Amino acid sequence: MDNNNLTTVTEFILVGFTDHPEWEVPLFLVFLCFYLVTILGNLGMVILIQMDVQLQSPMYFFLSHLSVLDACYTSVITPQILAMLATGKTVISYNHCAAQFFFFTFCASTECFLLAVMSYDRYVAISNPLLYTVAMSPKKCWSLVLVAYVCGLSGSIQRTTCTFSLSFCEDNKINFFFCDLPPLLKLACSDTTNAEIIIVLFGNFVILVNALVILTSYLLIIKTVMRIKSSGGRGKTFSTCVSHLTAVALFFGTLTFMYIRSGSGKSPEEDKVVSVFYTVIIPMLNPLIYSLRNKDVKAGFRKLTSRLQVSQSV
């Protein structure tokens, strides 16, 4: 990587989704609805967990941080999509592009680590339920969350530094709807070999290490569940993991498809569809995944709704 190259590009042009103006209003309305549901769902989940005494447990502590991350990293991307569709402005400054890349990478990387932490939490809860609150003390929970944030931050710094140490010269048109890694590497006019090796190796390492932690946790969970004599007890115990497994499958499956798959046969349009899924759709689905199958969350929501109705009637 040549660190002496000077960056001559001061702004980038985002191509966006469509060249057909008639699609801009429908797409704006769709993305606006998605964004509002995402923000309301995730922030509502955080508020509910903070206000309900029954939800003051390690599992919901981690879930509240997952909701914060989902709200943050979709907010890094979706408002810009809405602005592009509403105004037609597709220009983004170099510094804005770097900042967007940094914060998006930070939130996504941290979520990878947090999902691994949540799988470990499920293992502790199922393998030793009587000592669960002791084993997962508030201090340990905060330590695990802090590790996830520090790892996400270090990864984001590494990827952003490698990417924006490259030189961007005449071509400044990004065939994408935000500043993501693959389209940025295509624009670089300096040698990207070393940067790509570092970025790909680190990105694959993050995904594979966290996937290994999750896989190991669930193998141990399955081993523990199989010791339960009654089939009803096994089903009830494992059902507490279904929401987390669904979130893991969606998040890691999409990231793997996007970043680890072979470059052959890839198209910008295909990448855009996949990216919309993990930047817009998954953050919207996570609150629904964790609430629809969770009796405690639904009970907490009903209690909160009752309180609001009582306060309004007074």
pLDDT of 16 reads: 75
Q: What stretches in the chain show pLDDT beneath 50?
A: 1-5, 7, 262, 264
Which pLDDT score is estimated for 4?
A: 47
Task: Look at residue 3 in the predicted model and tell me its pLDDT.
Answer: 46
Domains in the chain, please, with CATH?
11-313 (1.20.1070.10)
Per-residue model confidence (pLDDT) at position 31: 92
Per-residue pLDDT, 98: 93
pLDDT of 217: 93
Give the pLDDT score at 167.
Answer: 85
- pTM greater than 0.85: yes
Q: Which two tokens stand for residue 144?
A: 């695990």
What's residue 18's pLDDT? 67
